[in-house]
Amino acid sequence: MKKRRILAFTSIRSDYDLLSPLFNLIQKDSSLELKIIVSGAHLSKTYGYSISQIEKDGFQVLCSIESLIDSDSKKSRIKSGSILLQNAIDIVDFYKPEIILFSGDREDAIVAALIGSYLFIPTIHFYGGDHVIDGNVDNPIRHACSKLASLHFVSHELHKKRLIKLGESPNRIFVIGSIALDKFVSIKVHSINVIKKHFEIANGFNDFCLLIFHPIINESDVAYLHFKNIMEVLDENHINTFVSFPNTDPGNRKIIDILNSYRGNKNFFIYRNLDRDWFLSVFRRSSFIIGNSSAGIMEAASIPIPTINVGSRQIGRFADHNVIFCSTGKKDIASALKKIRTPEFQSTSSSVKNSYGDGTASKKALKLIQNLNFNNFLMKKEDPLNV
Amino acid sequence: MDSTIKLELLGFLEKLGVSKSAISDDMNLFAEGVIDSMQAIDYLVMIEEKFNVNVTMQIVIEKKLGCPSYMAKYIETLIQ
């Protein structure tokens, strides 16, 4: 039997984790063939060289495209995107996939959406319809990806409504939930002692939090100051913390400098990149998450633990009652920290049910992929005035 | 047919917004358009999760499992 060829794009670890449970299911289906175009931060040793995880997971890399311009300038992301676009067009045309998958709002997503549109290959955009009012370029890029995509597999009913407002036809939109949550439900979580042993942490860390903070383009000059404030508040409160390196966006260099200045401080365990399984164990054993990662908004409620979202990144996104938004000032961060430790907030947080899904999203996505006739969705003829 | 499994199935459908009273015993939910394609997927995944079985759309169509009574019998056979 001829297998249906599916091609996925991924450029960064965090986005790979948003789709990898689905990749697993596709891989197990004998009627489907999955190949991946890997680019960007996946191929950078500075950011953990996570292509090795993709290979370890057993997925076939169709091509690795070294596209990341590892710079702090505003031009770097669009230049990286253009390198990927130039290199991927002929590869996609040669492989001739029947469906292209991509997620989110980064350069690889818009590139995949453009290539699918111009080569007349049906595309599925995951996590579209989300909206953040931080002014970051990711937001309009996400909506642009949606406008180019044939189908939308979204994580929240509100995202479907927003896509319809953007002029997308309802029959193209499927609310499956967040695939990132699937592993939350299924994975075996390591105990704190096993985590400490694995990371060779000798003392403390019996109770810890997780800090993930990324710069956004319009705050790239000051993002490190916001990060510094978070680090100082955590240090002053003697909170053991697993701290992630930031992503590759402009403004990250100075954040890395701050991070490096804390090396040797026993309150902090700093990491560049963790295997998803270890990351999930650390996340699930954390007493709270702080920073500005979407994991705090969309995933923490599945544990459930409190989230302190610092600054404007993620604002506008639907959040459950376990999330507190605060400004980037030390006083506000300290106040949020105090609040999440109150019995009232702990009680609210522990009873939260995650609005982004129940851990079955990848199964739903697979069933849709198995059963939809994608060619019916290829031509986008709808007039948004009539949607 | 009032098997426990069928009652579970009707509970799933109710969660998806389909009233029990709107479903007759021989109604094929899929063929008659009572549930849309996303509801159908949600329904099948609920079944797979609850009963630890694999229910593909092809099987659903071939065996007319859009009818809850048939689906209940099919699941009973699988889990025996």
Which sequence spans correspond to the domains of chain A?
4-177+359-382, 188-350
Asked whether residue B1 carries a pLDDT value surpassing 70, the answer given is no
Q: What percent of chain B has pLDDT over 90?
A: 61
| Radius of gyration for the alpha carbons in chain B, expressed in angstroms and rounded | 11
The reply to whether residue B49 touches residue A360, judged by beta carbons under 8 angstroms, is yes
**What is the pLDDT, as a whole number, of residue B2?**
55
CATH number, domain A188-350: 3.40.50.2000
Specify the pTM.
0.86
The reply to whether residue A368 touches residue B57, judged by beta carbons under 8 angstroms, is no
Task: Confirm whether A4-177+359-382 and A188-350 share one CATH topology.
Answer: yes
DSSP letter at A189 equals P
**What is the pLDDT, as a whole number, of residue A185?**
76
The reply to whether residue B56 touches residue A370, judged by beta carbons under 8 angstroms, is yes
pLDDT, tens digit, 9 for 90 and up, residues A226-272:
999 999 999 999 999 999 999 888 899 999 999 999 999 999 999 98
Locate A23 and state its tokens: 């990749």
Judge contact between A246 and A255, C-beta under 8 A. Answer: yes
ipTM over 0.90: no
Task: Give me the residues of A, 166-225, that contact B with CB < 8 A.
Answer: 174-176
Judge contact between A332 and A232, C-beta under 8 A. Answer: no
- Asked if the C-beta of A5 comes within 8 angstroms of chain B's C-beta atoms, the answer is no
Helices A252-261 and A223-236: angle between axes, nearest 10 degrees: 20
**What is the pLDDT, as a whole number, of residue A363?**
96
Q: Which of A164, A174, A362, A367 to mutate to test the interface with B (most CBs of B within 10 A)?
A: A367
Task: Give me the residues of B, 27-56, that contact A with CB < 8 A.
Answer: 37-38, 41-42, 44-45, 48-49, 56
pLDDT, tens digit, 9 for 90 and up, residues A38-93:
999 999 998 889 999 999 999 999 999 999 998 878 899 999 999 999 999 999 99
Comparing alpha-carbon positions, the chain A residue that sits nearest to B36 is A171
Q: Between A186 and B73, name the one with better pLDDT.
A: B73
DSSP letter at A357 equals -
* Chain A nearest C-alpha distance from B33 (Å): 14
Question: Which residues in chain A land under pLDDT 50?
Answer: none
DSSP A288-326: -EEES-HHHHHTGGGTT--EEEESSTTTTS---TTEEEE
Topology of the domain comprising A4-177+359-382: Rossmann fold (3.40.50)
Could you give phi then psi for residue B71, rounded to 5 degrees?
-60, -40
